[in-house]
A and B are shown apart, each in its own frame.
Chain A
């Protein structure tokens, strides 16, 4: 799809809301990048945490970037709105 947005999910492996958010994206057949920050270590982890902090200073998960929009938490309605599906 031409207007498919770039979607990235920053998650924790231990976070149920992250799993639900990814499940929702799967259900809507959206392709996305995802990273489980707690499973990283060292510089890699630091680098990703910096990325998350820029989007969401509280650094809570899931932090979901959909195009230019950032959604914090598993907010089904907001996610769908940002994706342009209802």
Chain B
């Protein structure tokens, strides 16, 4: 056990972020971001190093071990710099500013991100990983630090650095803070969706699925866009060639990913990305945000196609999160490391076992291990089905990590395996299932990868949305219970007594005022949880929090959302915006759809105006780069399509209400919203923001549905076919 008294630990020992704590034993005199660091830089007239990474980042660990743990390197750093460590997952706002800076200064950027700042926080030089010794034209880390230190002490050189810092800050501000001047240019329209689709089609891999070449990331916002587009074009103009193509691209990618080594066939869940084009050799870290979003994408694919395989993959991811990533009180952990200590289950029992770390060590198998753990027929079947070979099965192995090791993937279809072993498909599936369970148990003898157990509001909200959808699509109430427990966790631990939302909780401490992403994803989660549970309390919370999000983050002058509130942090260079839907979509893109949904529920124009303002603020950038914001384009498509808002007056458990509800739920959440009013308590809770439910009544003979579309309403219907007809009319009318 470490204590604060441990000799040699620095002040990061007092931080809760696992990433910052990983550096608490460094001889580098690290500071966390904040006043103390800025004071020291000003008092001692030193430049600052801001070093940004995250707990499961492999090259961050490498640099920490090679350079930040080395006493001589630390001495040089401490002498020349004020050194600040940032966990990018805690502070995406700072990460965005400084990674954009390094990208502007050097043409590329990534993590670990090392950026040098003037004492007032302006970046003037930076890079990513630096080696401990000069190699291949790359200067060593200490050379870089010394050079910065020398330049800062030399008045002429310092002036150059300050000039550079001034220029970089101006460029950054223009790029990240300013909205487009005016919106004289035409806004986004239907063609914007098609242009994005064309870009995705152009870089699509028709053989193995996915967009672009290795490394291949499962890009949930892109997959969702493709699925949305296929439904959208179906509503707009009947099934079109482009709509079919979008659906094929998404489904083929999902099948390839689920069959590849990027999927953990033994324990469920997806790894972060594939280093090869075939989805076979992954980078093994597992992120909550990937799994939460992919659960939703697979469930949507299941909804559209009815293919059981998609539901199975979703269930396996849900099981993974339930088993390995859930706090006993209901929150969800952030991530699991890629590397872990190697323990060969068929190897010698000597002291060398379980000492050194390797990428994927917890997940990969030697053939001999399969044969040790399983009986011979099961081992043979597993090897045949999952492509296990004595010499190992990794075709690409850039760092020589997988010699003799196997990354399981669907080498054969279940039908092929059944045929080969002369069994039925059912027998084969059940034999593989029990072999997988035995391997899972055996694998647990190995040391687990490090768990990043901090709890982030933003990512937890994504998981809550996934659970709510799982409850709805898979009709399994246990998922609803987990979603509600997740919301309760956030309510209890991430909101302060006076109602302020925070971003991170760990070891009993909540910290960091919530950013736009935390608000946006939580509003979305509350809306999704309402859709699944029909508990009006969640709707009320969504409306309240959505309103607060507008107050704190919306830019009424230019439209769009800032990542941070005006009072977030006085050391921020400026309030930046995020326009890009990466692996996790931008807060503004999620907020735009939230605002449309909130407007449809409440009729409050400020929500609608905010959605339109967000489209307009992004328009010029998206015209230049049509594929940058697929999530925002889903919101745009939803607005172009319009949405049916249906209020059902009836009893939730009764058949008439359920069959009306069923008709609404056939439509995606982007284009239909159902609210159920069963009793006086529901009505009372809803009246505050949906005053029109007041006069709505059920029929004498049962439930009634009130449908509105495109700001016009129909008289109530009771029959589900009549409702269906109204819904169809609505979706095909502009």
Contact = CB atoms under 8 A, between A and B. Distances in A.
28 contacts: A12-B713, A12-B715, A13-B695, A14-B693, A14-B695, A16-B690, A16-B692, A16-B713, A17-B603, A17-B708, A17-B712, A18-B713, A19-B692, A20-B603, A37-B715, A38-B716, A58-B714, A58-B729, A58-B733, A60-B714, A61-B712, A61-B714, A62-B712, A63-B712, A72-B712, A73-B711, A73-B712, A74-B712
Interface in A54-71: 58-63
A53 interface: no
B200 interface: no
Contacts of B729: 58
A35 interface: no
A15 B710 contact: no
B713 A17 contact: yes
B696 interface: yes
B3 to A, nearest CB: 61
Interface residues of B, number: 20
A75 B710 CA distance: 9
Contacts of B693: 14
Contacts of B708: 15-17
A20 B603 CA distance: 8
A76 to B, nearest CB: 8
A72 to B, nearest CB: 5
Contacts of B695: 13-14
A63 B714 CA distance: 11
Interface in B589-613: 603
B8 interface: no
A60 B716 CA distance: 11
A86 B662 CA distance: 43
Interface of A: 12-20, 37-38, 58-63, 72-75
B712 A14 contact: no
Given A13-B695, A14-B695, A14-B706, A38 B715 contact: yes
Interface string B681-723: 0000000001111111000000000101111111110000000
B696 A14 contact: yes
Contact of B692 (A14, A38, A75): A14
B31 to A, nearest CB: 53
- Those 6 A-B pairs whose CB atoms lie nearest each other, nearest first: A16-B692, A73-B712, A73-B711, A15-B713, A60-B712, A74-B711
B727 to A, nearest CB: 13
Given A14-B696, A14-B706, A60 B691 contact: no
B660 to A, nearest CB: 16
Contacts of B713: 12, 14-18, 60-62
Most chain-B CB neighbours within 10 Å: which of A16, A62, A73, A75? A16
A46 to B, nearest CB: 13
Contact of A16 (B603, B709, B716, B733): B603
A14 B646 CA distance: 12
Given A14-B696, A74-B711, A74-B712, 16 more contacts: A12-B715, A14-B692, A14-B693, A14-B706, A15-B706, A15-B708, A16-B713, A17-B708, A17-B711, A17-B713, A37-B715, A38-B716, A58-B714, A60-B709, A61-B713, A75-B711
A48 to B, nearest CB: 12
A58 to B, nearest CB: 7
Nearest to A75: B711
Contacts of B711: 17, 73-75
Contacts of A15: 692, 706, 708, 713
Contacts of A13: 695
A61 B707 CA distance: 10
A17 B608 CA distance: 14
A48 B710 CA distance: 23
Interface string B648-676: 00000000000000000000000000000
A19 B712 CA distance: 11
A36 B603 CA distance: 19
Most chain-B CB neighbours within 10 Å: which of A19, A20, A60, A73? A60
A62 B708 CA distance: 10
A11 B693 CA distance: 15
Contacts of A63: 712
B716 A14 contact: yes
A13 B708 CA distance: 13
B710 to A, nearest CB: 6
A74 to B, nearest CB: 4
A44 B695 CA distance: 20
A71 B712 CA distance: 10
A54 B733 CA distance: 18
B552 to A, nearest CB: 26
Interface in B551-604: 603
Most chain-B CB neighbours within 10 Å: which of A13, A17, A37, A63? A17
A73 B692 contact: no
A34 B695 CA distance: 17
Nearest to A58: B729
A20 B604 CA distance: 10
Interface in B622-663: none
Most chain-A CB neighbours within 10 Å: which of B603, B694, B715? B715
B674 to A, nearest CB: 16
B690 A73 contact: no
B676 to A, nearest CB: 15
B208 to A, nearest CB: 47
Nearest to B711: A73
B712 A16 contact: no
Contacts of A19: 691-692
Most chain-A CB neighbours within 10 Å: which of B692, B695, B710, B712? B712
Nearest to B696: A14
Contacts of A62: 712-713
A60 B713 CA distance: 5
A54 to B, nearest CB: 16
Contacts of A38: 715-716
A55 to B, nearest CB: 12
Most chain-A CB neighbours within 10 Å: which of B694, B706, B711, B729? B711
Contact of A73 (B706, B710, B716): B710
A72 B694 CA distance: 23
Nearest to B712: A73
A75 B733 CA distance: 15
B360 to A, nearest CB: 55
Contacts of B709: 60
A62 B710 CA distance: 11
